[in-house]
Amino acid sequence: MIKIAFCLRKLPSLTDKEFHDYWFNTHGPIVKSVAARIELVKYIQLHTLDTPHNETARALRDAPEKFDGIAEAWWEDMASLEKAMDDPAVADVWQLLVEDEAKFIDLPNSPVWFAEERVIIG
């Protein structure tokens, strides 16, 4: 499996509630509606919980501040990803997704990268 990992920071103008609501109820359905066109086989959202355990875990590791969430999207293999990324017929999908992301994500401060999934447990 090939995956994109996207560590999200919300726009400073949004509350946590507004960010999580938009991401789940607006952006999620958009991704679902275009998934087949870009051969996306799985998409999940990891919404950060508001818990004091975040600070405990951060302090133990001297880690930076938490992200507001993580999005993960899967393709079957590199060929599927490359087809989706390089096909001019789906350029409108990528444009749609980025334009929508700009409505709730602080894009310049939200790292994103492609990775190969290597399962250790499960």
For 54-88, write each residue's pLDDT tens digit.
Answer: 889 989 999 888 899 999 999 999 999 999 999 99
* Phi-psi category of residue 83: left, alpha or beta, with phi > 0 → left and psi -120 to 50 → alpha: alpha
Q: What is the pLDDT of residue 44?
A: 98
Could you tell me where the DSSP H helices lie in 1-122?
Answer: 16-22, 28-34, 53-61, 78-86, 91-101
The pLDDT tens digits of the residues spanning 81-116 come to 999 999 999 999 999 999 999 999 999 999 999 998
Neighbours of 47 (CB within 10 A): 14
List domains and CATH numbers for the chain: 2-116 (3.30.70.100)
* Phi-psi category of residue 4: left, alpha or beta, with phi > 0 → left and psi -120 to 50 → alpha: beta
Residue 37 has pLDDT above 90, yes or no: yes
